[in-house]
Structure formats: C-alpha cells, structure tokens
Amino acid sequence: MSDKITIAVSKGRIFDEALPLLAKIDVIPKDDPQNSRKLILETNKNNVQILVIRATDVPTYVERGAAELGIAGKDVLLEYQGDGFYEPIDLGIAKCKMMLAGLKGVKKEITRPRIATKYTNITQNYFSNFGKQVEIIKLYGSMELAPILGLADQIVDLVDTGKTLEANGLVPYERIADISSRLIVNKASMKLKSTAIKSFIEKLSDVIEVAE
Ligand code: ATP
Ligand code: PRP
C-alpha cells in the first residue's frame, strides 16, 4: 500500500495560514499557490499533495477517504454531521468566535426569534440546549444584512475583530463557541497508513508547540 498523503485544505484564510505551518515541517507546494489555478498542488515531498477546496467540503473529502488529512475550521466541523474522522490537533490558526448578535438598541429577549445563519445545526443545538424555540433562516453569507432589512431578528456568525458587526450597527450577545482550525484524519487511513500519518501529526504538533 502506497503511503501517499493527500491533505484537503479550506481555501481562503485557512489555506493562507496553514501554508506557513506546513512549511515549518518542510511541506512546500511546488507551484506558487497565489498564481496557480491547480486544485491539486504537488509538494516538495513526493508522497504529499494538497487539495485546495471549499471549507464545507473538507470534512466530506476526509470522511470518505478521498483525502487522508484535512484542515478545516471548528465551525465547519461542528456544523458537519458525520464522525468518519479523528481531530487530533488544534492548529491554533484562523481563530475567531461563533456569536449570537443583534441590532444595537433593540430588545434582545424575543419570543421565538428569527435567526439568520449559515450554521443551522450549531444554531439549533445551541437553542435546544436551553429549550428556546427559534425560527432559523438559512443564508449563505453576509448574515449581518438580515436584521438590518428585517429578514431576521438576530444572527449567528463568526466574529473576530467585531468590526463587521459594528460597521453594520450590530452588537454581540452571546459567545456560542471558540473557533480555530483543526487537523482531521480519516479513521481508516489512521490504521492503514499509520506510519506516515502518525509521523505527520507528530511533526505538526511539535511546530505548533514551538509556535505557542
Ligand atoms: P465559503 O464561502 O467557501 O464556504 P468562506 O467565505 O466562509 O467559505 P472564509 O471566510 O475564508 O471562507 O472562512 C473560512 C474559515 O475561516 C471559516 O470556516 C472559519 O473557520 C475561519 N474564519 C472565518 N471568518 C474568520 C474571521 N473573521 N477571523 C478568523 N477566522 C475566520
Ligand atoms: C467573516 C464573518 C464575518 C467577519 C467577521 O466574514 O462571516 O462577517 O468575518 O470578522 P470581524 O469580526 O473581524 O469583522 P469574511 O470576512 O470571511 O467574509 P465572508 O463570510 O463574506 O466570506
């Protein structure tokens, strides 16, 4: 069995922050990722390649074994409903918070509020935990618009600096979860390619400890 390792990485900010971490363990794409249109990046290591894919697709690739490893935000992993992977390392990159937020100066306590979010499972679980009924409105981005236009009462979204909330007249209400990016590993690959994968995890853990 070949010990080739494919790593599926969320494109965008996670990819940008993951590249320096991978470079620290001497895994470097052959082509310049900023200029390349390739979706599979070969690296300086013959047995390691990187897929650059949408955040929400990373768990699917890893759970189904199309990639042995993945790097995805905890937000995406909490929202994804599957258990075909291990989550051995918190990489400490792309840190932010999942927050409930609403319009400034508006009453926070509402009976059955309408919540706009792309994180429908996380939102449902959060409110179910304390038995509150909500109406969830699924959006795919720019959630901050929904309360302004009366589409929803509140939102559940990621917040880092808080500037996006502030710029749109919103305030944070509650922190639902701390978010950072995690390494995930296909369960079967952990057994079948254990030498290569365990070595990869160890090296990555070492550079993260040094970074902290
Ligand atoms: P897509 O539209 O492809 O589904 P996206 O536009 O949400 O993805 P990004 O905004 O790059 O993609 O976010 C990818 C990941 O980065 C998120 O899943 C989250 O873990 C993290 N993230 C998102 N927003 C922030 C932020 N403001 N600060 C830090 N990390 C963030
Ligand atoms: C994310 C998130 C918020 C914003 C929060 O959006 O959805 O809108 O960051 O960051 P802040 O608290 O530092 O302002 P992103 O910039 O990724 O845009 P997108 O969701 O439209 O892709």
114-171 tens-digit pLDDT: 999 999 999 999 999 999 999 999 999 999 999 999 999 999 999 999 999 999 999 9
Indicate whether residue 54 lines ligand 1 (CB < 6 A).
Answer: yes
Please list the residues that pair with 174 across neighbouring strands: 100
CA–CA dist 113, 136 (Å, integer):
8
Q: What is the pLDDT of residue 34?
A: 85
Residue pLDDT, tens place only, 26-50: 999 999 888 888 999 999 999 999 9
User: From the alpha carbon of 76, which atom of ligand 1 is closest?
Assistant: 18
Residues 6+ apart with CB under 8 A from 21: 91, 93, 204, 207, 208, 211
Please name the residue whose Cα sits nearest to atom 8 of ligand 2: 164
For ligand 2, residues with CB inside 6 Å are: 141-142, 157-164
Full strand arrangement of the beta sheet holding 114-117:
135-138, 114-117, 154-159, 96-103, 170-179
Q: What is the pLDDT of residue 212?
A: 52
Work out the mean pLDDT of the chain and round it to a whole number. 95
Q: What is the pLDDT of residue 83?
A: 87
Q: What is the pLDDT of residue 131?
A: 95
Q: What is the pLDDT of residue 3?
A: 84
| Domains of the chain by start residue, with CATH | 5-94+180-211 (3.40.190.10), 96-178 (3.40.190.10)
Residue 62 Cα, ligand 1 centroid: separation in angstroms?
19
Give this prediction's pTM. 0.95
Residue 87 Cα, ligand 2 centroid: separation in angstroms?
24
Q: Which residue has the higher pLDDT, 203 or 211?
A: 203
